[in-house]
Structures are given as structure tokens and as C-alpha cells.
Structure 1
Amino acid sequence: MDTQHDIALTRALAEVPGPLPVSGVIHVAVPHASRFTVVGNHLAQHAELSLTAIGIGVYIQSLPAGSQVGIKALAARFAEGETTIAAALRELETHDYLHRTRERLANGRMVTRTVFCNQPGALLRGGAVAPVTVASVPRPVVTPVVPAPVVAPEPTPVPEEGPPPVRLPSRIAPKPPRRPLPQPREPTPELHRAASALLADLRRHAPELVLSEGDVEELVPGAAAWLERGAHPDAVRHALTTELPQPPKYPAKIVRHRLTVLLPPPLPGAQELTAAPRTPVTPFQTCEGCDRAFRSPAPGHCRDCRAQYWEAA
């Protein structure tokens, strides 16, 4: 069998027109009489598609309309896994060879509509779509066949009819209302100016906290409440710029939240800081009978000496 194969290959090479290349592939082109698909070099030699994507694209193009070309169907046909096949299909979608859309049928079911275009560039330019033709060939003549776009509906599974689901009461607690922004007790122009400058200066210390003029004007009362309670501007700045989430999507909301939940208490006054009166301490006395020390508000005898005198009495 090997000898016959080698002889046939030698004869085929002898019929190749022109000189054979010294290196590289040599094509032995035998015209197809049936079961063939015309594939453009723009797909077969695509510079940005992976080999898996090119192979799946050629395979889908060779299938008849209505064939299943979903991820699971392709994974059952080829050795590649679902992850590899899914990535290849996304490549074909990126380069407009494959289009997948979700559509609702007349009966209400949702299906995935898959359309494969063999020439995306011509379709985008408004090229005509050639119908699918099947030629009866009495002798070996190459008949190019341009396939129509493959439309492969993939119906989604419909759940079986059964009793209506039982709705259990929700255990999710209602979201508490947002705490209001702190307000200063005695707003003054100086306090407003200092708070506005502090908020506008935050972006120097944290480039992520870029506040608009409207945000600054809205947040000024909260910063003023901090300053009114004796917080140093550096302490306020540190509380607002430390350990920010990356990236901060809503800088104004972050500043508002921290101004609200981290607000320090007012500084205590002089009366609160005054120490409470100490409890009077009973002084030491020296026993008049045994010279032993004992605590008593007045001089006299200790407990033991008093007990002896009581017994004698």
C-alpha cells in the first residue's frame, strides 16, 4: 500500500506545472467533484485569528443551514474544551465573521440566532448574498458553491410546567436611611471659607478626590462642622484621604460618607475636664495602749486594746 501511495504521489508531482519549489509546501490540487466548500484566504490566512478560530470558522462555513454550532455542540464534536471554543467564537465575533443575538419567537420562547458571514468585508460594503446552489456534475468539473449565511437557532431549555412557586417572605432588612450631612451650630463666613478651601485642596493630597464646585458647595457644611468642633485641618484631610478605594468611582460620595460617619464629638468644656472631688481618707492614729498604727478619725486605742478594756470592764 505504501509503495502504491508513493508511486501515485510521484505521478501527481510530475503533473504539477512549473518547477517545484526547493523548500516549503508543494500543492497537489485535485479538482473536487462534490462535498467541498469555498473558503476565502481572508479567513484561512487571517493574521489576527488563532488557529482554533480559523478551524472553527471553516467548519461552521461547511455546515448546512440549521446545524447546531453552539459551544456545547462544538465541544462534543472536537477535542478542544468549552473554554477554548468559546474564546475562538469570540474571536470570530470580533472580526464580524460570527453574529449571535437573542430573539423572542412568536410563542414567547427565547432563542439564540447565529449568523455566519463568509465575507464580512463584502457584507459591510453592501454586497449581495448569493443563494446556495447544488449542481449535478456528470464529470469532474469544479463547481464553486457560495454558501448562504448559516442561521442556526439554538433554543433555550423551557422549564417543565409545575405548581406555581411558593413565595417566601423576604428576610432582607430594609436599608436604613442615609444619615444627614453634619451641620455647624454657628456657621460663619470665616468657617465657610476655611471648609471650602480644605475641600478644594484635597486633590493635592489625593489626586483621586477631584471635586466639582457643586460638590464642594454641598459638602462645605460637613467640613465646617469638623472645624467647629476643633478638628485640625490636617486631621480632617487625613481622615478624608487615607485608604481610599481604588479606583474611587464617586469621590463626592466618599467624602460625604466620611464626613458623616467619622465626625468627632465636640471638645469637652472646662467643667467636664475638672476632676471629681476625692473621697476623704481616714488618717492613721497611734494606739495609746500598744503604740500600734490604726485608722481612725480621732486618737484613741486600736481595736484589740479596746476589746481588752471591754473584757476587763
Structure 2
Amino acid sequence: MTEKNPSAPKSAKTRHSHSGVIHVNEPHTENFTVVGNHLLQHPELSLMAIGLAVHIQSLPAGSPIGIKTLAAKFPEGEIRIAAALRELEEHGYLTRARERLQSGQVTTRTTSYNRPRTAPAPAVEAAAPPKVSAPKTPAADLLARLRTYDSRLMLSERDVRRLVPEVSAWLERGVPVTAVERALTSGLPQDPIKHPAAFLAHRLTSLLPPPLLLPAPAPPSPPALRPDPWQTCDGCERAFRAAEPGRCRDCRSVGAVA
């Protein structure tokens, strides 16, 4: 009869395998956060984004999670933290909406989701009718994302479809997506925006940059002239360049004087 290992905690559950990681799991009864494997094993998120999402989910409600606040906590710096926050926004784990307070001050309201907003809803007995989603193009995504900058720029799916060709005109002229977003969200009026679609349509039309005029290609350079081949002078047997065999210039000069 073999003895049990006395050093292993009785409450721990150990899973052995021939290779790879070995898990020693102990139950948590306090000070813990439940995180789904859909986040921890996400195939598209970076490790930086996954770690930041877990940290945010572990914070109590109302905790500040601005870029500068997070950069003061961790060594990664503002650029990497900002990129990780954008990843979490793109995959539905985070939303940031700019709201104007009654005092006129603009604040950012951040919402963290422990399950991505794009995840399919659980199956129910009576299936709901399918929703018609906005077209999956870079222009449609840009328009739908504007409400995260300012809640007054929230658009309906119909408005998004109507404005997609106007945004596409910017993108076809070589304007980066970030520049289009900046043109549509910077310098917003303090008054309420009653018709966001009309407001954005006006900006897209009035601020449309001209197409880039690429420089004309340089004319082809003339072919290099090849020098005449070497010839041996029939008079002095010196080498000289000429198109055909004969006499060198000195011998021709002497012959001419004679």
C-alpha cells in the first residue's frame, strides 16, 4: 500500500499530464474575480489586452481606468495601454462614451463587459427573428463607433447605410480612418445635436478633401552611348578607339601633311 504525498494540500486539485502545464487549483472563497475562458483564451487579443481586461474586471465600480491612471500603475506606458484598450473596444469587452455634464464639462464613461457584447445570446425556446445588422465594412464600423466619442453622435442602422458612401469617398481618397474620425468628432458644438445623421452628412460633404494628385512618372532616361571598340592602327600599331579599323589620328595627320 503506497503512502499519499503529505506535502500536497488536501484542498488542492492537481491534474497531471505527461507534458505541458500542471494545474494546482484551490477554491477561492473571498477576494476573487470570475473570468471567462472566452477572454483568457481569446485567439485575437494580445496578452496585454487580456491582462488589462482581467485587471479592469477585478476593480470595484467607479474606479478610474483612464490611460494616465493605468500608466501610473503599470510599466507598459500610455501607448501600449491605449492600444490594448482599443483592442478591447473592437472585440466588445469595453465601451467608452463621451458625455457632456450639465456644467458643460465633457467626461468619458467607460463600461466593462465580462462577456463580449458581440457574443451570441443564449438559446431560448422561442427563437427571436433575426436582426438586420449594419453592413460590415470599415466605413460602417467607423460610423457606428462614433457614439463612443460622444453619445450625441449615435446613429441608427438606416443612417449608417445612408452615410457609408460618403465615408467611403474619404477612404478612397487615401484619408486614414483615424483622420476621418477626427474630422467628424473634433470641435463639436456645445448645443444639443438633434439630427446627428444630418450633422455628419454636412461635415462629410463640406470637409471632403480633394483627391491626391500623384506626381507624373519621370521620362525614361536616354540609353547610354557605348564607346567605339578598340582598333589597332595600321601605321604605328597603337591601340585607338574607332568604329572601323584604320589609322589613328596621329598617323592620319602625318599622311595628310605628306
TM-score (norm 1): 0.36
Higher relative contact order (Cα pairs below 8 Å, separated by 6+ residues): 1
Higher Rg of the two aligned structures: 1
TM-score (norm 2): 0.43
